[in-house]
Structure 1
Amino acid sequence: MFVGIDIGTSVVKAAAFDRDGRILAVERARAPLVAEGDRVEQDFEEVFAAVARVARAVCGGRAPALAGITAQGDGAWPVDAAGRPVRRGISWMDGRAAGIVAEWIADGTAEAVYRATGNTVFPGCAAPLLAWLDRNEPAVLDAAATAAYVKDVAFQRLTGVRATDVSDASVPFLDPRGRDYSPAVLEACGLGRRAGLFAPVHDPLPGAEAVAGGVLPAGTPVAAGPTDVTAAAIGGGVAEPGDGLLNIGTSLVCDVVTDVLDLSGEPSGFHFATAEPGRWLRVMAAMVGTAGLDWVLETTGTSHGELDAILDGTAPGAGGVAVLPFFAPSGERSPFVEPSARAEFTGVSLRTTRAELVRAVCEGTAYAARHLLEAAGLRGSVTVCGGGTGSAAWLRMFADVLGRPVRVAAGPETGARGAVLAAADRHGIELDTTAWTRPSATVDPDPGRAAFHERGYADHLDRVARARDRWAARARPYSTRSALES
């Protein structure tokens, strides 16, 4: 039995697999978020209690041959030397550091970081959050032994080892060629004096044995990482340069395998280092994916169970309603960084139905996915995973908008599956990767709907460009002279 643990944003999952990758058991537990205005935090002790519940449940009293851990990335999780939190963890969804990101964009720091690492900064990533803590709660960092990522805190509590991997360390401090923290980037972010807070980077993955008296039986081989984006790509069988993964989860995450490190052009997205030197995941991760759908369903009084009937019962184009799906209060991070980005609905009238509003959000999200995949350099096959794959009608819409077949990743729990495969590689345990990652289905596009959405996508890109101009103008300092002259 092989166990994968995936610490999601609000749900912790564990899956047990047999040697051929067949699911033996899956368990999930909530890990509540504490949201106050633009601040989103989590209590790590609640998160770890959820880890313990799901891991013990899937093991069922048996000792697994191996356990792999993956988790949500980014955020800031300051802990002491024993891996105990010194304050609540700050989620990647948090927006309190938006002002710092705006400063860094204005003074060139954000671009300098991207040119050095291939990774953008956004309000919920470690760099601005730690800079915010250093300015506003310095005693927290003084008391901390590690400014950790959540999977690494869990790994430390399971094994006693303080470490991280190249994927989590990538955003935004890792030198992508040297595969260790960049002192210049730490200094640029004002964190040079806090360098001791960063856990050692184990290349490619930290591996150890579970300690006695913990969640897993003592001696169980455990590996931490990679981060959930990379683990999902592994679990989905996305391995060749040019191939992409579309993860329709809380956050819409699109990534493409690349062996070219191109840091030119507009700073956008991320380059996650992988276990193989000279190969990266070019990641474009939007702030909102299914969370936007959840919002429109709740707002219109629609249940998730109605979604397929709504999409099947409405025509492409949603009766003229179009949506830019930038719903996050902290703005957008891919395929551009804009803290002031907000969702926009156009074409709404008194005759607009709730079904059309729902369909418009689904179409806007699909257009955003295509924008992200193209920005990441997609030129091969597309594999899809995540909670959004539960809607067959939405899956068909994604295939139509992308204009190409989409392979549905082996499920459930693609991230946990990838965590096990990565852990097996780390500990020298041979598993049949082809069998573990064989897609469960392929969804082909409809030629007529694909042609319609080709035009819709062009309109989407035009509306994004015009919205960015407005957001940029809104962000410029107010000038009395220019206002009078206008």
Structure 2
Amino acid sequence: MYIGVDVGTSITKAVAFDETGAQVDSESVQTKLMHPAPGQTEQDVDEVLRSVTTVLNELVARVGQPEFAAITGQGDGLWLTDAEGRPSRAAVSWMDGRAGETVRSWTADGVEEALFRINGNIQFPGSPAAIMSYLDRHEPEALDRAATAGYCKDVVLQHLTGVRATDASDTTMPFGDLHGGYSAEALALTGLGHRADLLAPIHPRQPVGELRLPDTGLAKGTPIVSGPYDLPACAHGSGVVEPGDGMVIIGTTLACQVITDAPDTSGRPAGLTLATGVPGKWLRAMPAMVGTASLDWVLRTVGATTSAVPALLAESPAGANGVAVLPYFSPSGERAPFVDPGARGQITGLTLRTTHADLVRAVCEGIAYAARHCLDAAGLTGSLAVAGGGARSPEWLQIFADVLDRPLRLPRCPEVGARGVVVNAFGALGLEHDAAAWTGSERIVEPGRGVERHREGYRRYLEHLEAARPLWS
């Protein structure tokens, strides 16, 4: 039996799998986001670490001791810890917007493009380099106190094992060089060369340690494997391994990604290029800021809950009776397939006859159009897997299938991040497993009658986007 832990933005999950890849049991606990000022989003690191020990204790009490535990988690943001791995400041979330002006200045000065040419990654307000640059100017004492400026999963690893390390999935962005190391040029471009000692050592495969922390439920000495972070972990867990194959995670954000065997740092800067942990393969990722958070906002506005979505979608036809949504509701703007901290949402086509159902359908369609925009930019040519909380809605999945005009492959179970980090840990520990059995599909959703209507809707979505850009400045 094996345990995968996925430390998300608001939920920490531990999932137990047997030797066939079947999910045995799971445990989850919610964590809070803090908003100390407008546009700022942080997390209490101690609370996040407690959430990990809580889910491990509860799960192990029911299922027994695992062969190992593997850790994945949210990417980006900035997690500062001291030499003992204790938090030296609240974690700044990837959702944070305080570094928006930093990103705008990097774009204007050519830094953004120069960084993209090094490692194929754009910067956005919640990226580690932007946050670290902001703190270096406005809160330098926080960096002075820290021994490590790391990532969520790495903080958990050090807490459990004492190992200070990271892997190439997180470090590809922002300071990576696409060859498994840090780029001195990238550090210099961001003005952070003097903070290089805060970057943790990169392990070429995945960091591995032995459990030393008591009160986790796990036996002392249990192997703990860290990484990759959630985007590559979900790709592993969904069986996305061949160049051209992709996946979309319909979560708080809309994470679209495609496997490539040749990273491309030419063209217009857009998206991320992430190491997968498999030599010679990268993920061309377009993690848009839109997602279920945009739908949740509309549902709250109309006084409905997620349980009402199927009925509301049934009440409004494809095209939402002329209502259209640009779903850029994040206060930090957008990061894929374009970067604009000033990007904002719009709802058009409203009349006195517009219903709540029209609004809900329009935002569901708008998010699906954003997914197509991202996947087109990422170079999707093969099969497409779909995961995330939004994938639990058959009605919304049908909209995605129609907008994308291709079959959607649903992986074996919904916890693909935890599954993927366990699959990756087999390789890191040199253990055999049946990859096809672990990452097979549960079902396929085929495109339906809405394909033609949504082809026109997507064209109008792109026109709407271009018309809106001048209003964001």
Task: Please say if residues 233 and 417 of structure 2, whose CA atoms lie closer than 8 Å, have aligned partners that are also in contact.
Answer: yes
Distance 1:303 1:39 in 2: 26
Matched AA of 1:190: G
Task: Please say if residues 401 and 446 of structure 2, whose CA atoms lie closer than 8 Å, have aligned partners that are also in contact.
Answer: yes
1:38 aligns with 2:10: no
1:184 aligns with 2:185: yes
Counterpart of 2:208? 207
Task: Please say if residues 159 and 213 of structure 2, whose CA atoms lie closer than 8 Å, have aligned partners that are also in contact.
Answer: no
Counterpart of 1:477? none
Show the 5 A alignment for 1:252-263: 252-263=254-265
Does the residue aligned with 2:174 lie in a helix, a strand or coil? helix
Count of residue correspondences: 470
Matched AA of 2:13: K
Counterpart of 2:69? 67
Matched AA of 2:399: M
1:440 aligns with 2:442: yes
Distance 1:280 1:412 in 2: 23
Does the residue aligned with 1:27 lie in a helix, a strand or coil? strand
Distance 1:351 1:339 in 2: 33
Counterpart of 1:307? 309
Show the 5 A alignment for 1:135-174: 135-174=137-176
Counterpart of 1:271? 273
Q: How far 1:214 moved relative to its partner?
A: 5.0
Q: Of 271, 280, 283, which aligns to 1:281?
A: 283
Matched AA of 1:10: S
Counterpart of 1:386? 388
Q: Mean Cα displacement is larger for which, 331-340 or 58-67?
A: 58-67
Counterpart of 2:96? 94
Task: Please say if residues 57 and 215 of structure 2, whose CA atoms lie closer than 8 Å, have aligned partners that are also in contact.
Answer: no
Does the residue aligned with 2:41 lie in a helix, a strand or coil? strand
Does the residue aligned with 1:172 lie in a helix, a strand or coil? coil
Counterpart of 2:418? 416
Does the residue aligned with 1:370 lie in a helix, a strand or coil? helix
Counterpart of 2:28? 28
Show the 5 A alignment for 1:253-402: 253-402=255-404
Counterpart of 2:58? 57
Distance 2:42 2:325 in 1: 29
Distance 1:454 1:110 in 2: 33
Q: Root-mean-square deviation (CA), in Å?
A: 1.0
Task: Please say if residues 295 and 364 of structure 2, whose CA atoms lie closer than 8 Å, have aligned partners that are also in contact.
Answer: yes
Identity %: 51
Task: Give per-residue Cα distances to partners, 1:99-126, cap 9 Å, x unaligned.
Answer: 1001100101111111111000000010
Q: How far 1:470 moved relative to its partner?
A: 3.9
Counterpart of 1:481? none
Counterpart of 2:8? 8
Distance 2:210 2:406 in 1: 44
Counterpart of 2:457? 456
TM-score in terms of structure 2 length = 0.98
Task: Give per-residue Cα distances to partners, 1:86-145, cap 9 Å, x unaligned.
Answer: 110000000000010011001011111111110000000100100111101111111100
Q: How far 1:239 moved relative to its partner?
A: 0.5
Matched AA of 1:232: C
Task: Give per-residue Cα distances to partners, 1:347-379, cap 9 Å, x unaligned.
Answer: 011211011000000000000001111110000
Q: How far 1:420 moved relative to its partner?
A: 0.5
Q: How far 1:265 moved relative to its partner?
A: 1.2
Task: Please say if residues 312 and 356 of structure 2, whose CA atoms lie closer than 8 Å, have aligned partners that are also in contact.
Answer: no
Task: Give per-residue Cα distances to partners, 1:398-436, cap 9 Å, x unaligned.
Answer: 001110100111213110000101111101121211111
Task: Give per-residue Cα distances to partners, 1:187-246, cap 9 Å, x unaligned.
Answer: 111110000000001112111211152523211111100010000000001110000011
Matched AA of 2:20: D
Q: How far 1:468 moved relative to its partner?
A: 2.5
Does the residue aligned with 1:323 lie in a helix, a strand or coil? strand
Distance 1:468 1:423 in 2: 44
Task: Please say if residues 204 and 274 of structure 1, whose CA atoms lie closer than 8 Å, have aligned partners that are also in contact.
Answer: no
Q: Mean Cα displacement is larger for which, 309-318 or 162-171?
A: 309-318
Task: Please say if residues 77 and 131 of structure 2, whose CA atoms lie closer than 8 Å, have aligned partners that are also in contact.
Answer: yes
Distance 1:167 1:82 in 2: 24
Matched AA of 1:127: A
Q: Of 120, 126, 129, which aligns to 2:128?
A: 126
Task: Please say if residues 370 and 401 of structure 1, whose CA atoms lie closer than 8 Å, have aligned partners that are also in contact.
Answer: yes
Q: Of 206, 219, 228, which aligns to 1:226?
A: 228
Distance 2:83 2:219 in 1: 23
Task: Give per-residue Cα distances to partners, 1:295-326, cap 9 Å, x unaligned.
Answer: 00011001111101111222000010000110
Distance 1:463 1:264 in 2: 27
Distance 1:430 1:59 in 2: 23
Matched AA of 2:83: A
Matched AA of 1:181: Y
Does the residue aligned with 1:388 lie in a helix, a strand or coil? helix
Distance 1:428 1:312 in 2: 50
Task: Please say if residues 66 and 424 of structure 1, whose CA atoms lie closer than 8 Å, have aligned partners that are also in contact.
Answer: no
Task: Please say if residues 14 and 416 of structure 1, whose CA atoms lie closer than 8 Å, have aligned partners that are also in contact.
Answer: yes
TM-score in terms of structure 1 length = 0.95
Distance 1:467 1:203 in 2: 44
Q: How far 1:288 moved relative to its partner?
A: 2.3
Matched AA of 1:393: E
Task: Give per-residue Cα distances to partners, 1:268-309, cap 9 Å, x unaligned.
Answer: 100001222321000000112000011000110011111011
Distance 1:230 1:60 in 2: 29
Does the residue aligned with 2:421 lie in a helix, a strand or coil? helix
Task: Please say if residues 327 and 343 of structure 1, whose CA atoms lie closer than 8 Å, have aligned partners that are also in contact.
Answer: yes
Task: Please say if residues 384 and 409 of structure 1, whose CA atoms lie closer than 8 Å, have aligned partners that are also in contact.
Answer: yes
Distance 1:86 1:344 in 2: 39
Task: Give per-residue Cα distances to partners, 1:242-268, cap 9 Å, x unaligned.
Answer: 000110000100000001221111101
Task: Please say if residues 167 and 228 of structure 2, whose CA atoms lie closer than 8 Å, have aligned partners that are also in contact.
Answer: yes
Distance 1:296 1:223 in 2: 39
Matched AA of 1:213: P
Distance 1:108 1:272 in 2: 22
Counterpart of 1:198? 199
